[in-house]
């Protein structure tokens, strides 16, 4: 079969190759490969070329503002203790506020037991669940630190994560910092293994590239840092879906920059079943349409927005083009290719597979380039031959989610907040 494919592809003229695979070359390559290579070249040169202005004697001292970590959880007794242990004592000026958001398990007991034996830990309890955003806003009124760090109660932080994530905030124009969120259960099964590779590339290299362009559109709710004054200025977290991405865009619309700290790493549990993964990704993709393609459409208003910034417009354009248009174009293109080459489908699929595999293999070098645990990441990258199939699967999920959100606004039915809160506050 391989010999037949080699003969077939060699018989194609450049015009035929461009016609058949132009969409792949012009759409997927720029997003998933060229940006990665630019970042790698950029940082490789930075490592090779010595900084003549670097002087240890005159180097600025580490940025050490006061930090308050907010942990909002609902029925998280199984993971909260480990999360608290990974945070406490990792930074000299640190307070922790735990918000029990109407839990029905032992979340409150776990939090109070930890607070009883550790200093600077406050526990707040709400008898009725109000949702993550509501809980974080409630705790914000108790925080006094200059920097607010939000961490999910089912995550744990890597070494020096707090110190790493706050350093970009030394710049007064930067108001939020995104971190690298990675799976903490990478080898539970094949599904978590696939997600591990995806996370390592998208949340490390992908967000690093977006940050360099000034188009980073999300500070993950699992682990992110914010100036408290700016959080208060933009009225905190909104109760709608995708509260992390929504907050990020409101901060950017207020005129502040969003940075990325690749070595501030947080480890979160990823879905272990296909059913839960599908539910998660449908919810995520619906949120993108809701808050980026509806709620914050004014980011593209050239004449009606006095705070118009080109990087915000580019962010909006990126989302509409790659996350909406290209999803439909991908499947339309696939159907057209299947009809056009109906008698050569085996060769067509093999060509597409090898192309996407080559992109994935190139991404391996980028993942390892920024690795802080080379042995772990090498094992993660062994799943690379299956990644093209996994990405097609995710595109199918995106197609379904985007369609149902555009036509029926299904995000309103998502359980991101209780029904009584959603009905009173959410309008998007």
pTM of the model: 0.86
CATH architecture of 65-272: Alpha-Beta Complex (3.90)
36 neighbors 205 (Cβ within 8 angstroms): yes
Span of 58-67, 266-275, 373-382, 395-404 with lowest mean pLDDT: 58-67
Residue 243's pLDDT band, with cuts at 50, 70 and 90, is confident
Q: Which residue has the higher pLDDT, 344 or 307?
A: 344
pLDDT digits (tens, 9 = 90+) for 276-328: 999 999 988 888 787 777 777 777 776 666 556 777 777 777 777 777 887 88
**Averaged pLDDT, 158-173:** 92
What are the extents of the domains in the chain? 2-40+304-415, 65-272
CA neighbours closer than 13 Å in the CB half-sphere of residue 266: 31
- Return the bridge partners of 227, or none: 147
DSSP 272: S
Nearest to 368 by CA among 358, 379, 377: 377
Cβ pair 134, 416 in contact under 8 A: no
Confidence of residue 54 (pLDDT cuts 50, 70, 90): very low
Q: CB–CB of 225/253 below 8 Å? A: no
Residue 329: the pLDDT is 80
Q: What is the pLDDT of residue 18?
A: 66
Mean pLDDT over residues 210-231, rounded?
89
Q: Contact, 143 vs 97, CB < 8 A? A: yes
């Amino acid at each position: 079969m391989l010999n037949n494919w080699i003969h077939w592809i060699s018989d194609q003229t450049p015009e035929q190759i461009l016609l058949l695979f132009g969409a792949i070359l012009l759409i997927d390559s720029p997003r998933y490969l060229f940006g990665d290579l630019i970042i790698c070249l950029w940082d490789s040169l930075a490592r090779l070329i010595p900084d003549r202005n670097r002087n240890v004697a005159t180097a600025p001292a580490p940025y050490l503002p006061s930090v308050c970590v907010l942990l909002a959880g609902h029925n998280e007794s199984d993971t909260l203790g480990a999360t608290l242990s990974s945070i406490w004592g990792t930074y000299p000026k640190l307070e922790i506020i735990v918000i029990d958001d109407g839990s029905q398990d032992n979340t409150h007991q776990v939090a109070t037991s930890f607070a009883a034996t550790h200093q600077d830990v406050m526990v707040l309890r709400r008898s009725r669940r109000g949702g993550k955003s509501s809980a974080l806003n409630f705790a914000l009124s108790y925080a006094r630190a200059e920097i607010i760090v939000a961490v999910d109660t089912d995550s744990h932080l890597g070494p020096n994560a707090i110190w790493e994530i706050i350093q970009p905030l030394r710049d007064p124009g930067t108001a939020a910092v995104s971190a690298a969120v990675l799976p903490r259960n990478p080898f539970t099964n094949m599904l978590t293994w696939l997600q591990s590779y995806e996370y390592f590339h998208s949340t490390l290299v992908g967000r690093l590239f977006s940050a360099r362009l000034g188009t980073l559109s999300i500070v993950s709710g699992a682990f992110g840092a914010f100036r408290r004054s700016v959080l208060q200025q933009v009225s905190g977290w909104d109760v709608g879906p995708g509260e992390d991405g929504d907050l990020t865009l409101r901060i950017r619309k207020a005129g502040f920059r969003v940075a990325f700290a690749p070595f501030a790493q947080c480890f979160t549990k990823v879905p272990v079943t296909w059913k839960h993964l599908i539910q998660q990704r449908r919810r995520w993709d619906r949120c993108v349409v809701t808050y980026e393609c509806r709620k914050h459409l004014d980011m593209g208003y050239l004449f009606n927005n006095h705070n118009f910034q080109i990087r915000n417009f580019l962010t909006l354009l990126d989302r509409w083009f790659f996350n909406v248009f290209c999803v439909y174009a991908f499947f339309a293109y696939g159907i057209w290719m299947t009809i056009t080459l109906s008698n050569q489908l085996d060769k067509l699929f093999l060509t597409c597979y090898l192309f996407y595999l080559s992109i994935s293999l190139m991404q391996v070098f980028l993942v390892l380039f920024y690795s802080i645990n080379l042995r772990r990441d090498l094992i993660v990258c062994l799943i690379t031959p299956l990644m093209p199939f996994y990405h097609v699967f995710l595109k199918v999920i995106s197609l379904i989610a985007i369609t149902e959100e555009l036509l029926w606004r299904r995000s309103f039915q998502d359980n991101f907040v209780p029904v009584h809160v959603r009905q009173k506050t959410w309008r998007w």
